[in-house]
Structure 1
């Protein structure tokens, strides 16, 4: 099994690509970002492989149906960082993660409990008389 943090330490381009999307998504990771089309030292084919690896490790997700090809060749609204990817980035850079709460902001109204019906055992019924 592959360890994502090990892969990031081994491959500077992979870490750089994750860092790119982490910086863009640090304010609001739910916003779709344009695809990074060029990276120093990485051929376009290699950049495609790196994007695929980040997807495979659940570090970024792809907006397959919503991406748009711009006239300059950029794919807009193509990727965004996942919670896992942002967590891995923060961990490698020693940034304390702020947990996103999955609890509702307002407490749910309390539900009325159902009265529990149980069997009265013969010995219990006799003891209570």
Structure 2
């Protein structure tokens, strides 16, 4: 896992999202251990409380579970849960934003659809 921390959102959110990304990309599989809060702190030079907060978010959502005295692990079914969670926010976070930006600059929804279809055709080759 390599996270490039920035000021776009709180660090603990970036950590939670990076763990989710690693689960989605099969870098961390179900029942595998994730880095500890101390490891996150050492690698990224952040406060352990910050990394703990990011990991706690995922534990609260049921993505991670704790093995007492060992650490945090990816819960079976976590990948599907993350996919579903992100699908629910995808439309609002990306599609609506694209449509609103298009309206500001005079690009119609039909034009946006055509752009997406053209891009998809180019990348399927």
TM-score (norm 1): 0.40
Which entry has the higher C-alpha Rg, 1 or 2?
1
Structure 2 length-normalised TM: 0.40
Q: Specify which structure has the higher proportion of helix.
A: 2
